A and B are shown apart, each in its own frame.
Chain A
Amino acid sequence: MKKYRFYMMTLMGALLLSSCGTGGDKGANGALGSSAAEKVYVAPGEQDSYYAFMSGGYSGNITVYGLPSGRMFKEIPVFSQFPTSGYGYSEETKPMLNTSFGFVPWDDAHHPDISQTNGELDGRWIFINGNNTPRIARIDLSTFETAEIIEVPNSAGNHSSSFITENTEYVVAGTRFSVPVPQRDMPINEYKGNFKGAVSFISVAPDTGRLNLEFQLIMPGFNYDLAHPGRGDSHGWFFFTTYNTEEANTLQEVNASQNDKDFIAAINWKKIEEYVKNGGGTKMATEYAHNVYDEHTHTGTSTMKNEVITVNPTDVPGAVFFLPTPKSPHGCDVDPSGQYIIGNGKLSADLTIHSFDKMIAAIEGQKFDGEAYGIPILKFEDVLAGTVESGGLGPLHTEFDAEGNAYTTFFISSEVVKWKLGTWEVIDRKPTFYSVGHLMIPGGNSRKPFGKYVVAMNKITKDRYLPTGPEMEHSAQIYDISGEKMELIYDFPTHGEPHYAAGCPAELLAPKSKKIYRLDDNKHPFAINNPSEARVERDGNVVHVYMSTIRSHFTPDNIEGIKVGDKVYFHITNHEQDFDVPHGFSIIGQNTSELLIMPGQTKTSLWEPKKVGVWPFYCTDFCSALHQEMQGYVRVSPASSNLELSWSLGE
């Protein structure tokens, strides 16, 4: 026994010595705790263990980060023109930003959500909503490019979106602003009782991901703030937080904050789906754009649709209920089991947790506390599972780990609070810097969270980084949540204003990420298979240049016979088939943007020469040692010139 103790002592001594040997920052965790630096350090040549997709807010796009390093990998253009790649400027991608209001080159991108199968992340697509001109986008996670955008009619401020059901049956889009449905000329102060809130169910084809607006539920004129799907037992239901149940039309800051309780709307979408399948609902004339990008033609097409099926909730008994929830709840979050629905009452100190089982019991027992516009209101006490009395202020959003814990952001008191599902006790709280909005745990909105890190997305940056004048990027913080207590391990700036994020393990996406587009799959009508097919064709004042790029020259690189007033379409095919060898194309006086063309891809830039002269074009991507030589000339003659078209390379 004595001997045993001696061995233990030696072992302990050795441990202490070795941990002293690593030196450095010990922090508050004592000599045995590993340092925060080690936890976020991804050594040169190594890769992160998680992807994080952050919404760009007013940037209109998605940024892709690695966790735990916080390194940004890519900005995916979605709703905003992006001169870096030519998205929204090239002829192929202009249709992607078409709407019933015409070309809208910007949006406010809010809530990304990764596709799921059986409630677990499957990594096929990520969806995101455009808030301002209501749209839903689908991004392909093998190319990390926007594949589809569908406009949402009868909606305004598309905020309680783009959340998916647990088998990606639907992506759901709820309106923040209620508006006249259909839109019409009427006095604003007649809002109450007249404005409506449309909640849209957009189906996702399991094989292609193709979106289709199946039906819209025309709800009372509240503001539908955030949403999440039921999962497990509650699969088939969708939950939406509401505010402005007062139906105020002015000074909402005050007037929409009067009711002690607003609602969480519980919607049995399976019931409504069945109702619509059996011919229920009303066809309403409307107008919305549906834009699809084809990866093989490298071209987007925009189609206008002019009809939508609307459903009056009172026509489908037992499909929609209101759960009273204190104080203008923001986040509406469902735990991994699907049992608890969390209302983050942003104007209170407490979180309200509803029980799905209790809700079903109350519905079955017909225990209602009145109704709103014919929709039954359940009794608060009957559906309440518990309250988290956190001591924080301004709860906004909750995510979950796999151990039965929940993590809630508190905007006003600037902190993340960890609490236990079922007992509702607070386990830990850590400050954020500053005023945290949303937070993200990879898979934290699914049946299977990966609870290693939580990323807090802060609304206010102030002094966290070197100052850059009045305007700064927003700050994010990473906490290690693998232990009982959360540990702040990293700060990093984000791009735009992330309103939410979605994350997943790296191995879900990295192996299937495309390296090139195959030339033999290129079905672009203006593509050329080989540089020898390069040519220039004139049709009236429209000129098509079929151009090739390969290290390090354009074919052709001398073009003559172009005239002032021509519309010159440069169709550039990148004939490289090597990973990470894009070529760029820019020409003086281009009124759009450059093009950045991936290997095997074809993109088109429209150039309308206005001045006589000899004008250069060049490759904008440093493609090789001879990148600087990758250039050419276009001779532009007066409109009256009779010079024949000619083109050449190396003559």
Chain B
Amino acid sequence: MKKASLLMMIGPIFLLGLFIFPLWNIELGAPQYPDPLGINIYINGLEGQNEFDIQNIDGLNHYIGMKTLPKPEDMWEFSVFPMVIGGMVFLGVLIGFLGYLGKLSYHWFFGWFVAMSILGVLGMYDFNAWLIDYGTNLDPKAIMKLQNPDGTPMSYKPPLLGHQKMLNFDAYSYPRLGAYLMFVGMCLTILAGYLGWKNRRALKTKHTKSLSHA
């Protein structure tokens, strides 16, 4: 159980990487952009992949009536997400510590993982909802109003994950180092839960055995 608890204390710390490294990246490449434009998405705001990419993406998007990319103060997510992640890291380390002291069982390890997973899914859902709004809620006075073959307005929603061709651009949306660190950290917590469970069973068997001997 000591090993499991240590893992449980280490795992959540990997999530702190989200404060340093981007969670996600959306990249736009086109013939006239041999160096693609890109947005690095952090839990507390957006940053250009190159220094002036945000300004340049906004410059292009104004033709099709998209809103400018949000500043940290424009979206509640950028202030709430850091608190949620910070809180979860604290909670995870605390659970691990209490597990180490033998005050909590491995069930709490799984509990933390499940809670983190639910938050993660909610986060993705929210991210996707923003992408939909960003890509479809267009200025009615847009310079270029493009339509699908069926007459519906064209959506400029970038993919949640993977590649999509959008007009002359190839859009790529993939997780970045922050997300990978989160993944590793969460895996460590499941491993902690699994080790805790195995350890518990081993203890139980041992206990039963010693009882039968008596």
Contacts and interface: CB of A to CB of B under 8 A. Distances in A.
Interface of A: 516, 550-551, 576-579, 624-626
B56 A577 contact: yes
Contacts of A625: 63, 144
A550 B59 CA distance: 8
B39 to A, nearest CB: 15
A343 B35 CA distance: 50
B125 interface: no
A605 B52 CA distance: 28
A579 B63 CA distance: 19
A173 B174 CA distance: 60
A577 B63 contact: no
Contacts of A576: 59
B143 interface: yes
Interface string B135-151: 00000000110000000
18 contacts: A516-B52, A550-B59, A551-B59, A576-B59, A577-B51, A577-B52, A577-B55, A577-B56, A578-B52, A578-B55, A578-B56, A578-B59, A579-B35, A624-B63, A625-B63, A625-B144, A626-B63, A626-B143
A551 B59 CA distance: 7
Of B51, B52, B55, B143, most buried by chain A (CB within 10 Å of CB) is B52
Contacts of A551: 59
Contacts of B51: 577
- 3 nearest A-B pairs in the assembled complex, by CB-CB distance: A577-B52, A578-B56, A551-B59
Nearest to A625: B63
Interface in B55-76: 55-56, 59, 63
Given A577-B56, A624-B63, 12 more contacts: A516-B52, A551-B59, A577-B51, A577-B55, A578-B52, A578-B55, A578-B56, A578-B59, A579-B35, A625-B63, A626-B63, A626-B143
B144 to A, nearest CB: 8
Of A516, A550, A578, most buried by chain B (CB within 10 Å of CB) is A578
A90 B144 CA distance: 35
Contacts of A578: 52, 55-56, 59
Interface of B: 35, 51-52, 55-56, 59, 63, 143-144
Of B35, B55, B144, most buried by chain A (CB within 10 Å of CB) is B55
Give chain B's interface secondary structure class.
loop
Contacts of B144: 625
A331 B131 CA distance: 68
A624 B64 CA distance: 13
Contacts of B59: 550-551, 576, 578
Nearest to B51: A577
A187 B56 CA distance: 67
Nearest to A578: B56
Contacts of A516: 52
Nearest to B32: A580
Contacts of B63: 624-626
Contacts of B56: 577-578
A551 B56 CA distance: 10
A651 B61 CA distance: 22
A578 B55 CA distance: 9
Nearest to A45: B34
A577 B144 CA distance: 23
Contacts of A626: 63, 143
A482 to B, nearest CB: 31
Nearest to B59: A551
Of B35, B55, B56, B59, most buried by chain A (CB within 10 Å of CB) is B59
A245 B51 CA distance: 61
B146 to A, nearest CB: 12
A577 B50 CA distance: 11
A624 B32 CA distance: 11
Nearest to B62: A551
A573 to B, nearest CB: 14
A612 to B, nearest CB: 34
A263 B55 CA distance: 63
A578 B35 CA distance: 11
B38 to A, nearest CB: 14
Contacts of B55: 577-578
A624 B62 CA distance: 12
Contacts of A550: 59
Contacts of A577: 51-52, 55-56
A577 B35 CA distance: 14
Nearest to A579: B35
A576 B59 CA distance: 9
A626 B143 CA distance: 9
A516 B144 CA distance: 28
A624 B63 CA distance: 10
Contacts of A579: 35
A550 B56 CA distance: 11
B165 to A, nearest CB: 19
Nearest to B143: A626
A550 B63 CA distance: 12
A440 B99 CA distance: 77
A518 to B, nearest CB: 9
A624 B59 CA distance: 11
Nearest to A575: B55
A515 to B, nearest CB: 9
Of A550, A577, A626, most buried by chain B (CB within 10 Å of CB) is A577
A550 B60 CA distance: 11
A550 B52 CA distance: 14
A248 to B, nearest CB: 60
A578 B32 CA distance: 12
A550 to B, nearest CB: 7
A143 to B, nearest CB: 18
A624 B144 CA distance: 13
B51 to A, nearest CB: 8
A577 B56 CA distance: 7
A22 to B, nearest CB: 30
A625 to B, nearest CB: 7
A402 B203 CA distance: 80
Contacts of B35: 579
A550 B51 CA distance: 18
A579 B35 CA distance: 10
A370 B168 CA distance: 79
A579 B51 CA distance: 12
B26 to A, nearest CB: 18
Nearest to A551: B59
A626 B35 CA distance: 23
A175 B59 CA distance: 53
A576 B58 CA distance: 11
A223 to B, nearest CB: 51
